[in-house]
Every structure is written in C-alpha cells, then in structure tokens.
Amino acid sequence: MTQHILNISYLIASITFIVGLKMLSNPASARKGNLLAAAGMTIAILATIFLYQNSETGEHLHNHLWIFGGLLIGGIVGTLAAKKVKMTAMPEMVSLFNGMGGACAALISLIEYNHISHIISYTPNSDTHSFQSTILIIAIGLIIGSVSFSGSIIAWGKLNGKIKDYSFSGQNILNLVILAVAIGAAGYIVVHPQHQLIFYTILLLSIIYGILFVLPIGGADMPVVISLLNSFTGVAAACGGFLYGNKVMLTGGILVGAAGTLLTILMCKAMNRSLKNVLIGSFGGGATTASGGAASGQGSYKEISLSDTAMIMSYANKVMIVPGYGLAVAQAQHTCHELEKILTEKGVEVKYAIHPVAGRMPGHMNVLLAEADVSYDKLLEMEQANDEFATTDVVLILGANDVVNPAAKTDPSSPIYGMPILDVELSKNVVVNKRSMKPGYAGIENELFFKPKTSMLFGDAKKVLQDLCAEIKNI
C-alpha cells in the first residue's frame, strides 16, 4: 500500500513538472507554472522521506533530523539569496545554483560508487560484471555533473567580473584530450570497478575539463553557455534517477536536460551560430573603445538633449523601447514603466522590442520588465518587433548594444555577422541611452551609433528616464 501511494505521489509530481514547464512558455502563466512545479517537487520530497522503502531490506529512510536540517538550511539560504539578488546579478545566481545541481549529481555518483566498491572489497569472489550497468551510469553522472559544476562556477565568476576570459594556443586540443582520457578511464572503470584511483582521476579530469571548457568563452556567448550547462545538470540528475529507480527524479532530469538542450539550440539560432562555433570560436574578449566624437573611422556621432528627446517622444504616434543590460544595471525598469504610462496617457502607443539574447541570460529582459509589472502584451519578440519598426516614430534603446548592431548584417568580418538583430534603423528616429561610447559585451563597435537617424543620450538609465518623465509631463 505504501509503495502504491509513493508511486502515485511520483506520478502527480511528474505531471506538475510537465504542466509547469508548459506554463513557463507564456509570461502570463509563468509564475503559476513555477509554483505548480515547486509544489510537485515538495510532494516528491515528502513522499520519498516518509514513504520510501528499500526493496531488499524493507527499511524506511531514517535520520530525519539530518534530512530536515539540510532542507531547512538549504531553504533559508535559497530564499534569502533569491530575495536579495539584484536583477543584474540574476544570471550569476542561476549559474551558481545550476553548479550546485551539478555538484549534487556528482556527489551521488561518488557515494554510490563507494557503496559498490565497498561491496566488491568485502565480498569474496563477487561478480563485478553484475555491477557494470550501474557503474556506467555512475561514471556518466560523475563526468557530466562535475563538468556542469566547475563550468558553472567559472561562468558565475565571468559574469560577475571576478574571472576574465583566458585562452592559450592549443587549448581546444588539450580540452579534447582531457575529455577523451576521462571517457576512456570511465570505460575502464566499468570493466574494472575496483580501481578507485581511476575513478577519482575521472572526477579530477572532469573538473579540469569544465574549467578549461568555459574559461575562454567570451561574455557575449554566456547566455548559450548557461543554457548548455543547465542541460548538463538535467542529464546528470536523470542519471541519479536511473541509479535509484526514482521515476520523478528521472522525469525531472529529462525535462531539464531536454529543455536546456532545446533552449541552447534556439539561442544559437538567434545568434545565427552553431554550437560548435560558440564553444570554439567564441567572441566577447578584447574590446575596442571609442572616444570623443569619432571612432575607428566610423564617423561622428551626434548627441541629443533631454528636452529634444522628450519633445519627439511626446508628439510621436508610436514609440518602441529596446531594453538591454544597461537598464538592468541601473535598476531602471520601474522608471521605464513609468515613462511608458506617461506616454500612453498622452496617446502614444508604446511597446517593447525583446531580443532573445539581450542581457546576460535567456529571458533576462522579460523577467526584468515583469518585475515592474509591464503588460505582457506590450512585449514583442524580435520577429514581431522587426515588422513594426518601419511604422515607429521613435526607438529608445536603453543599454542594448550588440543586438541592434547593423554590423551583423553588413560586415562579413564582424564576429556577430549573420546574427539576427532588431532592425531599429528602419524607424524614423533612434535615441540610444548609454553611459559612454564603450562597446557592448561582445567587445565590438556599434555602427548604429554613427547612423544619420541615431542620436546619443548619455547618462545613467535611471536618472535619464526620471528626467525624461519630468520633461514629458511639462509638455
């Protein structure tokens, strides 16, 4: 009876994961989908703690004090981290939490291998062949989990600026050699599971590979890397589900792995690059800088005053706002929403153009604007926005850079050539708000800044938007 209730609990949890993931595809239902999946996870955890029974010994889980102690500590730390994190630091938190998931999967492999190794060592004439399938899953979980852990930690360091891009000649070859040795050692340990030194060598090589794998990848490619590492963690968790015969763990791991893989593919498509090109031919390293009124032969840029910006926006029929990382840095999403409401009251149609890789992680801008209660109906995806730019009077770009750079269409030598961008230059007027003329995250100059229709409005996004709101109210 207990086993039946446990299976039903797992089934309910699995269904909530699937339905919750489906609800995440729509901004209006995303919050409810997240809560639904969290409720399913809670059911699965509690059912495992109180209803799980070992099929061989018939024993239930014990040490409830340790289990609930861990849940309490982890719950408090996770809640405080999520509540206190700034929107600019959200990508770092996602990377860090994803790395913890990879570490958990690797620890499961370590614990289960030690368990099997103990049985082999203390059971004379034990048949090691009977453990081969289990050791194979353990080895896969160890490699993927360790790579996800170390890679995610490096990604976290790169996103918050503590770790710089680093590469050296022959690094890709070295990476492949390390990975091949780790896989070869995994094959050996499957046949000879009693060799513990080999197993821990796999762990070390996997951690080193994860570090070297992410270290040279440029900042502009971080959204793709985060998504890819997330899929790794899902696959590693699925391996844990195989080990324990835990259906809900298996389902959750498969969903995360599949969703992360699909998102990685979509992100690469949005950048018009193959995954191989992202991982090997990354961009985002050394930045070129522009100063004064001209840069690298592009010509001169022109500035626009706050009052002139307020004037053209007040008398426009349609205004399109393009949010970027600069908006997140300034924590100006609420002020941006205030500007939208002021313009709407004056009869101006206001919408937001969202590029798939704007910000530092998938969906960064959507989450940022949702925090300010911006209507989901006003958020246009790239394809929708590009259809409307030709009928737009003013485009206000807030900190976005690479996703509006015309070099992606006009300069074959540019690292971002071929990447689909927001066609803001089709509008009548383009106003770009930036702190300075420094390049964006990809480290390349933006041709848009020197176009005849473009005007630069320098300053912190929050301060500029606050002053802009005040000016427009007085018109």
Q: What is the pLDDT of residues 308-326, one digit of tens each?
A: 999 999 999 999 999 988 8
Are residues 339 and 403 located together in one domain of the fold? yes
Strands 349-354 and 379-381: what pairing? Answer: parallel
What is the distance, to the nearest Å, from the Cα of residue 173 to the centroid of all Cα atoms in its chain? 27
pTM: 0.79
The first and second tokens of residue 258, run together, are: 């599949």
In a domain, 187, yes or no: yes
Per-residue pLDDT band at 127 (split at 50, 70, 90): low
Cβ contacts of 193 within 8 Å, gap of 6 or more: 113, 116, 117, 120, 128, 131, 132, 135, 199
Q: Give how many domains the chain has, as a whole number.
A: 3
- pLDDT value at 60 more than 70: yes
Per-residue pLDDT band at 20 (split at 50, 70, 90): very high
Are residues 99 and 54 located together in one domain of the fold? no
Percent residues over pLDDT 70 in the chain: 91
Are residues 236 and 262 located together in one domain of the fold? yes
Cβ contacts of 290 within 8 Å, gap of 6 or more: 296, 298, 437, 438, 439, 445, 449
Q: What is the pLDDT of residues 150-205, one digit of tens each?
A: 999 999 988 887 888 787 888 889 999 999 999 999 999 998 888 899 999 999 99
Are residues 373 and 454 located together in one domain of the fold? yes
Per-residue pLDDT band at 286 (split at 50, 70, 90): very low
In a domain, 300, yes or no: no
Question: Which of 84, 119, 151 is a domain's end point?
Answer: 84
Question: Which of 84, 117, 144 is a domain's end point?
Answer: 84
Are residues 61 and 110 located together in one domain of the fold? no
Per-residue pLDDT band at 291 (split at 50, 70, 90): very low
Spatial contact of 448 and 424, defined as CB atoms under 8 Å apart: yes
Per-residue pLDDT band at 275 (split at 50, 70, 90): confident
Give the active site residue among 393, 402, 411, 423.
402
Question: Which of 84, 105, 131 is a domain's end point?
Answer: 84
Q: What is the pLDDT of residues 372-391, one digit of tens each?
A: 889 888 999 999 999 999 99
Rounded Cα gap, residues 221 and 273, in angstroms: 10
- pLDDT value at 77 more than 50: yes
State whether residue 287 is helix, strand or coil.
coil
Identify the residue with better confidence: 62 or 289: 62
- Domain extent, residue 457, equals 306-473
Are residues 268 and 311 located together in one domain of the fold? no
Are residues 425 and 353 located together in one domain of the fold? yes
12 sits in which H/E element: helix 2-23
Number of Cβ atoms within 10 Å of the Cβ of 290: 18
The answer to whether residue 402 is catalytic is yes
The first and second tokens of residue 377, run together, are: 């109906």
In a domain, 291, yes or no: no
Per-residue pLDDT band at 280 (split at 50, 70, 90): low
In a domain, 51, yes or no: yes
Are residues 180 and 261 located together in one domain of the fold? yes
Spatial contact of 31 and 268, defined as CB atoms under 8 Å apart: no
Looking at residue 252, its pLDDT comes to 93
Are residues 317 and 278 located together in one domain of the fold? no
In a domain, 295, yes or no: no
Q: What is the pLDDT of residues 81-124, one digit of tens each?
A: 888 887 677 788 889 999 999 999 999 999 999 988 888 777 76
Per-residue pLDDT band at 126 (split at 50, 70, 90): low
Rounded Cα gap, residues 391 and 384, in angstroms: 12
Are residues 267 and 321 located together in one domain of the fold? no
In a domain, 172, yes or no: yes
In a domain, 301, yes or no: no
CATH of the domain at 417: 3.40.50.1220
- pLDDT value at 59 more than 70: yes
In a domain, 366, yes or no: yes
Are residues 73 and 95 located together in one domain of the fold? no
C-alpha Rg value of the chain to the nearest Å: 26
- pLDDT value at 440 more than 70: no
- What region does 418 belong to: left with phi over 0, alpha with psi -120 to 50, or beta? left
Are residues 204 and 125 located together in one domain of the fold? yes
